[in-house]
Amino acid sequence: MTQKKNYRIAQVNRLLQEEIADILLTEIEDERLKQITLTEVRAAKDLSHAIVFVTLHKSGDREELLEAARWSAGHIRKLLNSRIRLKRIPELDFRYDDSLDRAERIFRTLDRLQPDIHNDADSE
């Protein structure tokens, strides 16, 4: 039963991500929200709430974009209700996904270390 529930919530997460992304592109008039990409949606098992992780296309004011997304959350939820059939449409909580920023910092660090590794190998 647990496996079935986990599979179902994974399907719901994917569906929510696709629909929210489409809503942001086609139905929300706030141009600032066209600058974000949804990276993941994590809905609670009871669908009471969902965390929507976003990242930015371009450098911009992260807090301003998150505030705009949070301000639009109720409207997005209403649009979801007309698009998909779920027993409950979750409350949406938009959060910045910093995993890409962290990955970029790791790669930059590795690039800086790379010459040291080659120098050590040449000296042996």
Q: What pTM, to 2 d.p., does this model score?
A: 0.77
109 part of a folded domain:
no
Give the residue numbers spanning the domain of 75.
2-98
Query: What CATH number does the domain containing 37 carry?
Result: 3.30.300.20
122 part of a folded domain:
no
**pLDDT tens track for 16-60:** 999 999 999 999 998 888 888 899 999 999 999 999 999 887 666
Alpha helices by DSSP H, listed for 47-98, are 62-83
E strand map for the chain = 36-43, 49-56, 91-96
Residue 54, C-beta contacts closer than 8 angstroms, at least 6 positions apart: 36, 37, 38, 39, 65, 66, 69, 94, 95, 96, 97
78 part of a folded domain:
yes
- Give the count of domains, the chain: 1
